[in-house]
């Protein structure tokens, strides 16, 4: 099947590559000439495990192509996927400027039987507006469907190739059959192909992300309760997680969620509700709790150093908003770094993948360490902000020898309390008692 994917960002590139890997002829389109040139040279601009190898394999098999020439890719396509960015506007709503520019561009070249499918996360009702706009531009009723993505950065290829479910919003059985045929290679383990209205499909994406974000904010707020009441959130988490109605997924306390989806989608859904006369107190609270949680480590450091961080050497492990990605959008580490710089601290950082992106934000105001141990030299404290596997089993003896003071602020609860007490560290974590500070 000939497929065009407009947008070579995270979603578009993964989508196009995975469809190509299942035997389709896929062309990915972007207006960024440098990005397309790099992709044509087998250079992938984002870090996602396994993606570079898959791109190269499918380019060499002549199933995956990259171009800036929109007409040549759209005219022969049976399915045209929209995977352009929908960034957050100042009021929290989704900015659809790029989406509407794409619709106006592709309309003259859409085949009579082509289906245009929205993969981008868009406000409920956008599918209908696309349908109306295409009818206005082409003079006919075009086929428009919704197919929200549920990819987790770091495991996106597995998520696409082995989905929990596939959701499509369509207005005809024929479109449902076509999309089911496209996804059939990924549904061999009897995972459901869920057909619904476009409005329900658009809503499903927002509700899924809002619920997951709610679980994170909830466990973080309960962690803050535990600290004040002498409890241990890890024990509490185990105590509730074995309840089959609750489970363990997304119940790990930390320094708040980040990334391109949860913050933007929670705010966009709340904004949509307000546009329709409905105020979502819960969604606004989820967002507010998350913003507060990003300041938990600064609050702990402020108290420990009695407000005096000037000249202190602080090492940070982890910059990406989660492991297995180089994505720093809304990453809690950025909030910490900005605060430390305002306090005139010397900041050293390490991350396996995200340092180039952080350098783009902070330039030479930070020291970027190639090895994670380099951040520790004469450090007054170490802060852990991302739970990369690299950080989970360090040599604690060497760490103590390198650091000026054996102080760790662990925003991801990587280590056991007794372990840190026995090794002589002052250890601050999330939702648990501080050890070694008696």
Question: Which is the catalytic residue, given 18, 142, 226, 261?
Answer: 261
- Residue 68 in 3-state DSSP? coil
CA-to-CA distance for 151 and 157, rounded, in angstroms?
Answer: 8
Q: How far is CA 191 from CA 23, 164, 171, 244, 263, in A?
A: 20, 6, 22, 21, 28
Please enumerate in sequence order all residues whose Cβ is within 8 A of that of 35, keeping only pairs 6 or more positions apart, or say none. Answer: 8, 45
Task: Respond yes or no: is residue 261 known to be catalytic.
Answer: yes
Residue 80 near residue 114, CB atoms below 8 Å:
yes
Nearest to 227 by CA among 413, 419, 408, 414: 413
- For residue 377, how many C-alpha atoms fall within 13 Å in the half-sphere facing its CB? 8
CA-to-CA distance for 391 and 414, rounded, in angstroms?
Answer: 8
CA-to-CA distance for 345 and 367, rounded, in angstroms?
Answer: 12
Q: How is residue 283 written in tokens? A: 């969604």
Cross-strand bridge partners of residue 407: 426
SS3 track for 323-358 = CCCCCCCCCHHHHHHHHHHHCCCEEEEECCCCHHHH
Give the alpha-carbon dihedral of 178, 181, 182, 184, to 10 degrees. Answer: 150
Backbone angles phi, psi at 156, to 5 degrees: -65, -40
CA-to-CA distance for 264 and 93, rounded, in angstroms?
Answer: 8
E strands within 147-294?
166-169, 193-196
DSSP for 226-252, written as a single string: HHHHT--HHHHHHHHHTSTTT-STT--
Catalytic residues: 261
């Amino acid at each position: 099947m000939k497929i065009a994917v407009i947008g070579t960002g995270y979603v578009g590139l993964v989508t196009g590559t995975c469809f190509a890997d299942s035997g389709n002829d896929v062309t990915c389109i972007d207006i960024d000439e440098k990005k397309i040139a790099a992709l044509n040279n087998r250079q992938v601009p984002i870090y996602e495990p396994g993606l570079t190898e898959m791109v190269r394999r499918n380019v060499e098999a002549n199933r995956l192509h990259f171009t800036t020439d929109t007409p040549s890719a759209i005219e022969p396509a049976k399915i045209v996927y929209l995977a352009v960015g929908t960034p957050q506007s100042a009021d929290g709503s989704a900015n659809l400027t790029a989406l509407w520019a794409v619709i106006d561009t592709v309309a003259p070249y859409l085949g009579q039987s082509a289906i245009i499918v929205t993969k981008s996360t868009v406000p409920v009702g956008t599918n209908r507006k696309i349908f109306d706009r295409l009818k206005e531009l082409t003079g006919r009723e075009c086929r428009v469907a919704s197919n929200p993505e549920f990819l987790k950065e770091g495991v996106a290829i597995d998520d696409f190739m082995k989905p929990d479910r596939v959701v499509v919003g369509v207005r005809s059985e024929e479109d449902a059959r076509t999309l089911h045929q496209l996804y059939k290679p990924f549904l061999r383990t009897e995972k459901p192909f869920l057909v619904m209205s476009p409005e329900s499909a658009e809503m499903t994406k927002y509700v899924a992300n809002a619920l997951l974000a709610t679980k994170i904010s909830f466990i973080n707020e309960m962690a803050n309760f535990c600290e004040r009441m002498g409890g241990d959130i890890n024990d509490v988490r185990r105590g509730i997680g074995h309840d089959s109605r609750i489970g363990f997924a997304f119940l790990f306390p930390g320094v708040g969620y980040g990334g391109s989806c949860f913050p933007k989608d929670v705010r966009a859904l709340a904004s949509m509700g307000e546009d329709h006369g409905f105020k979502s107190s819960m969604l606004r609270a989820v967002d507010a709790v998350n913003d507060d949680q990003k300041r938990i480590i600064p609050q702990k450091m402020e108290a420990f150093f009695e407000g005096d961080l000037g000249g202190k050497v602080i090492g940070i492990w982890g910059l990406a908003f989660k492991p297995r990605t180089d994505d720093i959008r809304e990453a809690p580490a950025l909030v910490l770094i900005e605060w430390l710089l305002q306090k005139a601290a010397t900041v050293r950082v390490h991350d396996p993948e995200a340092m180039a992106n952080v350098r783009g934000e902070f330039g030479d105001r930070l020291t970027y360490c190639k090895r994670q141990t380099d951040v520790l030299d004469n450090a007054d404290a170490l802060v852990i902000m991302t739970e990369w596997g690299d950080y989970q089993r360090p040599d604690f003896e060497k760490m103590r020898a390198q650091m000026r003071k054996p102080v760790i602020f662990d925003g991801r609860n990587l280590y056991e309390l007794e372990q840190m007490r026995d090794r002589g560290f002052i250890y601050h974590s999330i939702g648990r008692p501080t050890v070694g500070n008696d």
